[in-house]
Structure 1
Amino acid sequence: MVTLTQKDAAGRDPRRWWALGALVASMLVLGFDMTILNVALPTMARALDASTGEQQWMADAYVVVFAALMLPAGLLGDRFGRRRMLITGLGVFLAGSLVGALADDVTPLILARALMGVGGALVMPLAMAVLPSLFGPEERTKAVGAVSAASALGLPLGPIVGGWLLDHFWWGSVFLVNVPMAAIGIAACVFLLPETRDPASPRVDIVSTALTAAGLSILIYAIIEAPGRGWGDPLILGLFAASLVLIAGLVVRERRSPRPMLDLSLLTRRGFLLNTLAATLVMFVLSGLMFVLPQYLQAVLGHDAFATGVRMLPMMGGLLIASRGAQPLLARFGARGVISGGLVTLAFAAVLGSRTTVDDGYGFTALWLSIAGLGFGFAVVPAMSAALGALPRDRAGSGSGLLMTVRQVGSAIGIALLGSLLASTYGDRLDTSGLPHAAADTAADSVVGAHVVAARLGDHALAASANASYIHGMDLVLLVSGIAALVTALLAAALLSNPEPAAAHAPEEDTGMAPTPADARQ
């Protein structure tokens, strides 16, 4: 087993920053994969003769599996070693990427995406779970900020890299680009990361794992499908009912188990619960911004996929600045003040963005997007750091899995609810009078479809109506997002407490590093 043995004067290994680099590389490749496929879908659909439903599964297979397996993945890391399972996750992700790059039919491509979701589910929570063993409370915020920034930075880089690859190579290159990055991450984890585990972790409960995966998979699928089918559709209602029954069955089983797989007692820790909710609500708001912006930049302002990715960078710039500047502010104002201030900043950015008109250019968008990045960074990074710090170190894997799962579900709900609001507002205001029925349906489906119809028919009025309708819907989404962020800021200011360091709850085994305080929060 590889361990880090050379300590500095404070008893910490100086190579922990190289280990952090391994985690950053791992998270960056996951960030890529969140958005890179969106650029390639039209090309892949033409090459594979994929239907609309098959295209949707190409994108959704990753998200559904990813969200459903993060909780069991955290437990596997606790029991069998977080470093070992992190390497395994990167290996599975690499294998899925290879299968996707070589696929010549829709079915193996969907399976490849699901396999990549399995790998991502192992990597995401465990990358966070090893941080308390590498960094003390005074450095943890900076480390969490670096890992979070790497994941977020991959979001706009996905369209940039994907657009460039599609301009120069075949569509499989958007999968192949993951291979060298995952391989570098594996090598770095092998040589730089210490092994940590919880020897007292319960055995993997197959039934509870199945209930978790099935319940969350059905819930996420229902949320994704609901905007298109309608929230009152019998299938959607049936899926929500089934997910509720499965998740309720999981809770009952875990509460009755003497050695539960899912430690629900973590939710009784006020610091963990409140900071997890704060981070989740931030992701709800951010998902709304990320959903409406690419379509606005591409369809309304007329930029291609590569240019769209470039124009989303101001938000990442704000996030990077916030992640670097959070520590001094935390030392002065405490986590409650910084998180609340970040949420207020995010609310201001969203409300400012809701003033966008058809006559505004990219400059105005860059302004509020930069402010949104600052607010996001100052809110979510301290919230996640405080939530992780509230965990006993021997439950870091399962607790981190719970945190990341709730965040992922929050993002899915944000996309579903805010996307439904955007679609209904856009469809209600779009003027399709005089259009053939098929053309009207295509135009009402999306602003991109409306521009395709307008270009084919030479209908400039339709294009203008589509732009105005989309901007109106986008403004409404941003306004709702701003209100949600402001309400969350008020709740954070009222309910959060500034944490104080406490002793670790249990010793770590085989960390190869000096022990660090758990910085537990009550």
Structure 2
Amino acid sequence: MATVTQADETRRDARRWWALGALVASMLTLGFDMTILNVALPTMASELGATTGQQQWLADAYVVVFAALMLPAGLLGDRFGRRRMLIAGLGVFLVGSLVGALATDVSWVVAARAFMGIGGALITPLALSVLPSLFGPDERTKAVGIISAASALGMPLGPIIGGWLLDHFWWGSVFLVNVPMAALGIAACVLLLPETADPSSPEVDALSTALTATGLGALIYAIIEAPSRGWTDPLVLAVFGAATVLITALVVRERKVERPMLDMTLLAHRGFLFNTLAATLVMFVLSGLLFVLPPYLQAVLGNDALGTGVRLLPMMGGLMVAARGAQPVVARFGPRAVVSAGLVVLAFAALLGSRTTVDSGYGFTALWLAITGFGFGFSVVPAMDGALGTLPGDRAGSGSGLLMTLRQVGAAIGIALLGSLLAGTFRDRLDVTGLPAKAADAAGDSVVAAHIVAGKAHSAHLAASANGAYVHGMGVVLLVCGIAALVAALLAGALLPGTRAAEAAKGTPDMAAPAADARQ
């Protein structure tokens, strides 16, 4: 009997590590897809004529849909089969990538990105939720670490792969590269993953899902349109009002239902709330920064797409080094001290970056980018650990889903708000004196568009003005990021639980459950 069990265990071993490889491929694809588009945006702005607002939608369409659908996607997998829904997510991602690669119009590319967001929302929670069926508790931590590393590794790979593809092929290749990866993931899931489900999980609430998607979509739309239409424009104000009503309705509904999809009572845990806010702010800054940096490196400093990707590596390198080193530092000094210090470093890097001028050169940029990466790593990793560590065991799933959703909301708002701030500042600063009205309007769309107009008009003055206006706008964005990070550091230092409180929460996770249940 023991021999049979051992043989079965051996066969399971071989299968589960191959299955983990399939999940790693899926997460790696999602990881570099998050950053690969940022390098492509200047090229797409040039070849498709995309304005800054349209570029914001190219980045945000994916993130908004991803954030809105992540929780219901996880519940769909629980009820109807995680492998089935994971395969469906990879299929949706593959089709969206094909549509994006073949599109010839900005609107179709935005639609393709939104469709890919549906696939990403299915893949991310389900790739993690199938791990318990593959690995025992002794190996699960290692498996989660491998998947997390794959997702993190995708971030620095994205700009490099994207830059190389754009130097050798057309812009659609940054979408097409997803197709073989997704196809490989589908084949591996079909052949290697066992089917698992949890029919007792809460049903997917269609109304809550609709409120989340429409509320977030309305908020992002208003923020992106405000710089061109004006913050007091009737349409912008109406959409802001609609977003407020929809998000309020979502919160009220989720607080009343017996088994909420978005468990708002988790925010009553002080450690979870403030660690989640810290992690969300970091995503706000990171996504906004990755949106404004590539045009500076490409249009202002004159690098090609591959050179732009490579020049983002100091930040990615700092992030990965700090992420690996965060755990022993937290063990020595406690999460509150490390999260606060990480946010202070992030604030310093952003304020240093706001001093960038047109003549600073890449050396100065590489310096504050590397410091930025360290700040990100030492703030976001312990903040996420601290948030999940305060949760009772029976709410780990819903808590991690809420944390990931809020992080994605932070990313979407970061791109929209900081991108809109950049667009408005650039347009106000750009000198279009002497240009025809149509050319002046086109030049104000983006720094890439201004360079195209300058080339056609043979105007060195317009090109120089565009560079100066963009660097000034980037400096304003970085200044806002620095102030926000500094305020967050002060709040984290004052409000996050101390080391002893955090250890007590981790040591007795179920003590919070009765109180939470009573609040429901």
- TM-score of the pair, normalised by structure 1: 0.82
Mapped contact 2:166–2:306 kept (Cα < 8 A)? no
Structure 1 residue 107, shift from structure 2 partner: 7.0
Partner of 1:509 in structure 2?
none
Question: Could you tell me how far apart the structure 2 residues matched to 1:14 and 1:305 are?
Answer: 41
1:8-47 matched pairs, under 5 angstroms: 22-37=22-37
Structure 1 residue 41, shift from structure 2 partner: 6.2
Partner of 1:119 in structure 2?
119
Structure 1 residue 69, shift from structure 2 partner: 1.0
Structure 1 residue 122, shift from structure 2 partner: 1.7
Partner of 2:419 in structure 1?
419
Partner of 2:365 in structure 1?
365
Mapped contact 1:73–1:401 kept (Cα < 8 A)? no
Structure 1 residue 136, shift from structure 2 partner: 7.1
Partner of 1:432 in structure 2?
432
Structure 1 residue 231, shift from structure 2 partner: 2.4
Mapped pair 1:217 → 2:217: yes
Structure 1 residue 379, shift from structure 2 partner: 0.8
- Report Cα offsets for 1:360-393 as digits up to 9, x if no partner: 1111111110111111011111212222333344
Percent identity between matched residues is 74
Moved more, 170-179 or 350-359: 170-179
Seen in structure 2, the aligned counterparts of structure 1 residues 416 and 401 have a Cα distance that, compared at 3 Å, is: same
Partner of 2:516 in structure 1?
none
Partner of 1:319 in structure 2?
319
Amino acid at match of 1:466: A
1:332-371 matched pairs, under 5 angstroms: 332-371=332-371
Mapped contact 2:422–2:474 kept (Cα < 8 A)? yes
3-state SS, counterpart of residue 445 of structure 1: coil
- TM-score of the pair, normalised by structure 2: 0.83
Mapped contact 1:125–1:400 kept (Cα < 8 A)? no
Structure 1 residue 353, shift from structure 2 partner: 1.1
Moved more, 75-84 or 339-348: 75-84
Structure 1 residue 178, shift from structure 2 partner: 0.8
Moved more, 269-278 or 382-391: 382-391
Mapped contact 1:92–1:115 kept (Cα < 8 A)? yes
Mapped contact 2:67–2:405 kept (Cα < 8 A)? yes
Question: Could you tell me how far apart the structure 2 residues matched to 1:444 and 1:110 are?
Answer: 21
| Structure 2 unaligned spans of 5+ | 1-6, 512-520
Question: Could you tell me how far apart the structure 1 residues matched to 2:24 and 2:264 are?
Answer: 29
Mapped pair 1:447 → 2:447: yes
* Length, aligned pairs only: 497
Moved more, 208-217 or 32-41: 32-41
Higher helix content, 1 or 2: 2
3-state SS, counterpart of residue 357 of structure 2: coil
Question: Could you tell me how far apart the structure 2 residues matched to 1:91 and 1:397 are?
Answer: 25
Question: Could you tell me how far apart the structure 2 residues matched to 1:48 and 1:420 are?
Answer: 20
Amino acid at match of 1:367: L
Partner of 1:516 in structure 2?
none
Structure 1 residue 145, shift from structure 2 partner: 7.0
Mapped contact 1:343–1:486 kept (Cα < 8 A)? yes
Question: Could you tell me how far apart the structure 2 residues matched to 1:211 and 1:230 are?
Answer: 26
Amino acid at match of 1:447: V
Question: Could you tell me how far apart the structure 2 residues matched to 1:173 and 1:211 are?
Answer: 34
Moved more, 189-198 or 420-429: 189-198
Structure 1 residue 281, shift from structure 2 partner: 0.8
Seen in structure 2, the aligned counterparts of structure 1 residues 372 and 82 have a Cα distance that, compared at 3 Å, is: farther
Question: Could you tell me how far apart the structure 1 residues matched to 2:261 and 2:57 are?
Answer: 30
Question: Could you tell me how far apart the structure 2 residues matched to 1:136 and 1:333 are?
Answer: 28
Mapped pair 1:161 → 2:172: no
Question: Could you tell me how far apart the structure 1 residues matched to 2:59 and 2:228 are?
Answer: 15
Mapped contact 1:144–1:384 kept (Cα < 8 A)? no
Structure 1 residue 99, shift from structure 2 partner: 4.2
Moved more, 328-337 or 217-226: 217-226
Partner of 1:266 in structure 2?
266
Question: Could you tell me how far apart the structure 2 residues matched to 1:288 and 1:170 are?
Answer: 25
Mapped contact 1:72–1:398 kept (Cα < 8 A)? no
Partner of 2:66 in structure 1?
66
Partner of 1:407 in structure 2?
407
Mapped contact 1:129–1:396 kept (Cα < 8 A)? no
- Report Cα offsets for 1:403-457 as digits up to 9, x if no partner: 2221122122222222233233333333222232223223333222222222222
Question: Could you tell me how far apart the structure 2 residues matched to 1:405 and 1:220 are?
Answer: 15
1:111-510 matched pairs, under 5 angstroms: 111-127=111-127, 150-186=150-186, 200-497=200-497, 498=499, 499-500=502-503, 501-502=506-507
Structure 1 residue 17, shift from structure 2 partner: 7.9
Question: Could you tell me how far apart the structure 1 residues matched to 2:197 and 2:269 are?
Answer: 21
- Report Cα offsets for 1:317-342 as digits up to 9, x if no partner: 11111121111112111211221121
Amino acid at match of 1:410: G
Seen in structure 2, the aligned counterparts of structure 1 residues 191 and 400 have a Cα distance that, compared at 3 Å, is: farther
Amino acid at match of 1:302: G
Seen in structure 2, the aligned counterparts of structure 1 residues 314 and 45 have a Cα distance that, compared at 3 Å, is: closer
Seen in structure 2, the aligned counterparts of structure 1 residues 403 and 191 have a Cα distance that, compared at 3 Å, is: farther
Partner of 2:514 in structure 1?
none
Moved more, 146-155 or 479-488: 146-155
Mapped contact 1:198–1:395 kept (Cα < 8 A)? no
Question: Could you tell me how far apart the structure 2 residues matched to 1:79 and 1:104 are?
Answer: 39
Seen in structure 2, the aligned counterparts of structure 1 residues 17 and 316 have a Cα distance that, compared at 3 Å, is: farther
Moved more, 189-198 or 460-469: 189-198
Question: Could you tell me how far apart the structure 2 residues matched to 1:361 and 1:41 are?
Answer: 22
Mapped contact 1:24–1:146 kept (Cα < 8 A)? yes
Moved more, 131-140 or 466-475: 131-140
Mapped contact 1:26–1:123 kept (Cα < 8 A)? yes
Structure 1 residue 121, shift from structure 2 partner: 1.2
Mapped contact 1:197–1:394 kept (Cα < 8 A)? no
Structure 1 residue 40, shift from structure 2 partner: 5.2
Seen in structure 2, the aligned counterparts of structure 1 residues 326 and 171 have a Cα distance that, compared at 3 Å, is: same
Moved more, 217-226 or 42-51: 42-51
Question: Could you tell me how far apart the structure 1 residues matched to 2:122 and 2:76 are?
Answer: 9
Amino acid at match of 1:375: G
3-state SS, counterpart of residue 227 of structure 1: helix
Structure 1 residue 175, shift from structure 2 partner: 2.4
Query: RMSD of aligned C-alpha atoms?
Result: 3.6
Seen in structure 2, the aligned counterparts of structure 1 residues 428 and 260 have a Cα distance that, compared at 3 Å, is: closer
